[in-house]
Every structure is written in C-alpha cells, then in structure tokens.
C-alpha cells in the first residue's frame, strides 16, 4: 500500500463485495481461570463502498443485523476488559479481494485473535496486503497489537498511527495532520483528530469515517477534564472535515452497534458528543447538578438524544465525567 500526501478531497472508489451468509451458531471455548464470558460478533455494515465489517467484543450476545459470525470465550476475572460493557469494536475495510485495512485491535492479544478468526472467514483469509491503523493510544484500541506476530499474514503488515501516539512506538507510518493511503481501488483519507485525545486518527473513505473514540455513542468519555474546551474544538474540526468530505456515517468504536449496522445514526453521534462537551464547559451545573443526578430523560433532552439511546453503562460514564470535571475545577 502507498502513503501519499493528501492533495484534494476527491471522489472515492471501492470494491463491492458479494453478500455473505450469517453464521449458524456461536462457538465457545475457555481460555483460563475463573470464567467471565465475552462474546464476539462480526457483521457487515450495509451499503458501504468499500465494504466494511465490524467485530464487537461484548459482555452479552449482540443481536445485530447482517451478522456474519459469532464466537465467545471465557476469560479469567483479572483479564476481563470493562470496555466490553460498552461493546468494544474494531473494523475491517475490504479495499479489494486481496487488500484490506484493520482499524484498531481491541483490548488484548487474545481478544484480537478471536476477532481475526471471525474475519478470516469473511474475507481476511484471501488478503495478502493488510494495513493496521491505531485510532489512538488507549489500551482498548491498541492492546491487540501484542498478538500481531502470532498471525502469519499480519507479521509484515504496515502499522499506521498518529505521530503523537507514544503507545504505538512500532508504527512504520506516522500520520501528521493529513495523509492519504491507497488500498486496492480505494483511497483512504487519514486525519489527525483531537476531540478525544491529542493523538487520534480517523480514516475516511466513501461516505463513512472510522473515528475510534472521537465520536462515541451515546455519552463521550472525558479523558482529560482540564482540556475539555480543547476537546470540544477538536471535535468541531473533525465534524467540519467530515461534512467537507460529504461523509454521512461515522461508525463508532463503542455503543449501539445495532444502530451502526442499520446505518441510521449518521453524524448524529458526533454532533451530540460536541453538544455534550460544549455544555460540560458552558452549562456544567445543568448537566451535573450538585446534590442530585440529572435524570436519563433530562440528559437525553440536553444532548439531543432519545432516552432509550442512553444505556445504564453510559449513564454511569456521565456521572464519572461529572466527578472528573468537578474535581478539575477545584
């Protein structure tokens, strides 16, 4: 694959994949120790060009449209990743029958190997040229890099990360502000993102952008409360970039993956995240009233979401955000 400097937004072309049949059953095996089940689901994102497949690790079986395969493992309690409560997800872009991109790697080598096993059955096995992209530095997105050498076809893969990403020191390609990656018949535009961390990369092609945690469904996790204003500006820039590209979808790494598979979220997740961060800066007392918790319904209204879209897990994320921001202001 070739990396070139981004010259223009242009028109993107992709390879249309044939429809793939759903999996018949969930395979399950035990890894080690006292067991906590983790479920993996691979699914096609419909009407994407180049074709896009997601693999989600979850604490429950996901009923997702266009499912391609499912498996589960039992992991030791001390190896359990709490991000599975939020449906931790990686993606594969099918640039051509023999070229593809893996965007993120889940939280551990064993989780990544489970995901790769599902992807092998759905196009990865036929690929001889694969690039890996790390969306940002957090463990739940980069942990699987520890297993790269255990997958034969990935040992010589090119690894791409933002130049500020110190967690991915083995990256062969460091993305600055903008670059392009040629993958089969597809052009992948890479952009530096700063709405979640300062070392983010989003990959855009066709009518979608993979953003990692830049856009999170339904409440964005605030990493550094003291830089919240900067994060809001960074996310606003990411949204502006996507609009300039005429992007209509931003499949996220966490949250309601059924909605991602249905293709009906659009950029609403990103726009809601931006509103949330802006209000956490300018109207903190409204979102985080002292002495009481804002109700789910009130929170949803404040950030232009439906109450049913904010799960208990993300309601908990919001409470944690309130605590972090409140402490940062003391």
Closest by Cα among 10, 3, 5, 2 to 245: 10
Query: Residue 263: its pLDDT value, please?
Result: 78
pLDDT at 16: 28
| φ and ψ of 175, to 5 deg | -85, 130
pTM of the predicted structure, to 2 decimals: 0.89
Residue 33, pLDDT score: 52
Give me 35's structure tokens: 């067991």
Residue 34: the pLDDT is 67
CA 273, distance to chain mean position in Å, is 14
> C-alpha angle with apex 81: 79 to 85, nearest 5 degrees?
145
At a CB cut-off of 8 Å and minimum separation 6, what does 290 contact?
none
Show the beta-strand stretches assigned E in the chain: 2-4, 26-30, 36-45, 52-58, 67-75, 88-96, 99-103, 129-133, 158-162, 173-175, 178-183, 186-193, 200-205, 208-210
Tens of pLDDT along the chain (330 residues) come to: 443 333 222 322 222 222 323 333 444 444 445 689 999 999 999 999 999 999 999 999 999 999 999 999 998 877 778 889 999 999 999 999 999 999 999 999 999 999 999 999 999 999 999 999 999 999 999 999 999 999 999 999 999 999 999 999 899 999 999 999 999 999 999 999 999 999 999 999 999 999 999 999 999 999 899 999 999 999 999 999 999 999 999 999 999 999 888 877 889 999 999 999 999 999 999 999 998 889 999 999 999 999 999 999 999 999 999 999 999 998
* DSSP annotation of 187: E
Place of tokens 């739940």: 140
Architecture of the domain made up of 9-328: 4-Layer Sandwich (3.60)
Residues 6+ apart with CB under 8 A from 24: none
Q: Return phi, psi of residue 91, to 5°.
A: -135, 155
137: closest CA among 168, 107, 169?
Answer: 168
Q: How far apart are CA 124 and CA 121, in angstroms?
A: 7
Structure tokens at 278: 């802006």
Q: 283 in helix, strand or coil?
A: coil
How is the chain split into domains, by residue range?
A: 9-328
Q: Compute the distance between CA of residue 92 and CA of residue 101 in angstroms, rounded to an integer.
A: 5
């Amino acid at each position: 694959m070739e990396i070139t400097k981004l010259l223009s937004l242009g028109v993107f072309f992709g390879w249309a994949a044939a429809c793939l049949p759903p999996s018949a059953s969930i395979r399950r095996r035990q890894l080690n120790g006292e067991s906590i089940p983790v479920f993996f689901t691979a699914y096609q994102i419909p009407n994407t060009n180049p074709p896009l497949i997601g693999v989600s690790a979850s604490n429950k079986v996901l009923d997702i449209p266009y499912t391609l395969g499912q498996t589960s493992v039992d992991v030791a309690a001390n190896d359990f990743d709490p991000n599975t409560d939020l449906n931790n997800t990686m993606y594969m872009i099918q640039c051509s029958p023999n070229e593809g991109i893996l965007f993120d790697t889940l939280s551990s080598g064993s989780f990544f190997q489970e995901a790769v096993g599902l992807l092998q059955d759905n196009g990865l096995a036929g690929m001889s040229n694969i690039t890996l992209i790390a969306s940002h530095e957090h463990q739940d997105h980069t942990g699987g890099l520890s297993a790269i050498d255990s997958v034969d076809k990935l040992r010589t893969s090119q690894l791409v990360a933002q130049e500020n990403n110190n967690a991915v020191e083995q990256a062969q390609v460091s993305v600055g502000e903008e670059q392009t990656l040629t993958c089969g018949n597809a052009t992948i535009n890479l952009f530096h993102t700063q709405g979640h961390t300062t070392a983010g990369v989003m990959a855009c092609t066709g009518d979608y952008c993979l953003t990692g945690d830049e856009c999170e469904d339904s409440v964005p996790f605030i990493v550094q409360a003291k830089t919240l204003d900067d994060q809001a500006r960074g996310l606003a820039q990411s949204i502006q970039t996507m609009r300039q590209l005429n992007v209509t979808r931003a499949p996220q790494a966490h949250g309601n993956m059924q909605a991602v598979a249905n293709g009906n979220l659009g950029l609403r997740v990103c726009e809601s995240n931006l509103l949330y961060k802006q209000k956490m800066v300018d109207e903190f007392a409204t979102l985080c009233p002292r002495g009481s918790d804002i109700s789910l319904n009130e929170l949803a209204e404040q950030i232009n979401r439906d109450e049913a879209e904010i799960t208990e897990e993300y309601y908990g994320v919001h409470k944690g955000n309130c605590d972090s921001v409140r402490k940062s202001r003391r």
